[in-house]
Amino acid sequence: ISVNPHKRLGHLDDFLRYCDDLDRAEDELLPPHVYRIARAAFTALVRTGKSQSILVSGDSGAGKTEACKLVVACLARLAPSGRAGATEAALGGALMLEAREFVEAWGNATTTQNKNSSRFGKWLAVELDAESAIHRCSLQPYLLERSRVVVHGPGERSYHVFYQM
């Protein structure tokens, strides 16, 4: 269970430093946190070679979109560590986050529940190479609320991009 803090907590570096002090076998010693979920998926993928999935669900405004960004930020920091190609991998993670801002312009809108509500579902894939560095990221949108382009409720808006232009 993840609770929307409604403020930047910003302690990824502290968390990763804390993780570094622990043996990798001791995932269960980590505090409950979205970073712990991301790290557990990463270590399981590296250990087993099998794909891992993280399903984020909840009410509008619960913090799903922000939680996903934190997962990607955490993977981007974990994946390249100490390997050749680290710069490219870190860049891939950063680009993924930047790309999401762009996608949000076209698929997010202000609603009564959330001023940056995602009006589509998304399948985000992060692929690692044999060196456990980020190889490729992709984002597949689906079920976009297309009717919002022409009509929306009182106090709501159409997609951000129309106001940004």
Ligand X SMILES: Nc1ncnc2c1ncn2[C@@H]1O[C@H](COP(=O)(O)OP(=O)(O)OP(=O)(O)O)[C@@H](O)[C@H]1O
Q: With binding defined as CB under 6 A, does residue 109 bind ligand X? A: no
Query: Is the Cβ of residue 62 or residue 97 nearer to ligand X in the bound state?
Result: 62
Measured distance CA(51)–CA(146) in Å, rounded:
32
117 belongs to the binding site for ligand X (CB under 6 A): yes
Residues 2, 135: Cα–Cα separation, whole Å: 28
Which CB sits closer to ligand X, 9 or 22?
9
Contact pick of 22, 116, 121, 125 for ligand X (by CB under 6 A): 116
> Cβ distance 3 to 62 under 8 Å?
no
Annotated binding residues, as ranges? Answer: 58-65
What lies within 8 Å, CB to CB, of 23 at 6+ separation is none
CA 129 – CA 107 distance, rounded (Å): 30
Determine, following the binding rule CB under 6 A, whether residue 110 of this chain makes contact with ligand X. Answer: no
Which two three-digit tokens encode residue 143? 């079920």
Amino acid at 121: G
| Shortest distance, position 141 Cβ to ligand X, whole Å | 12
By beta-carbon proximity to ligand X, the closer residue of 6 and 50 is 6
Residues numbered 52-81 forming contacts with ligand X, rule: CB under 6 A: 58, 60-66
Binding footprint of ligand X on the chain (CB under 6 A): 4-8, 58, 60-66, 114, 116-118
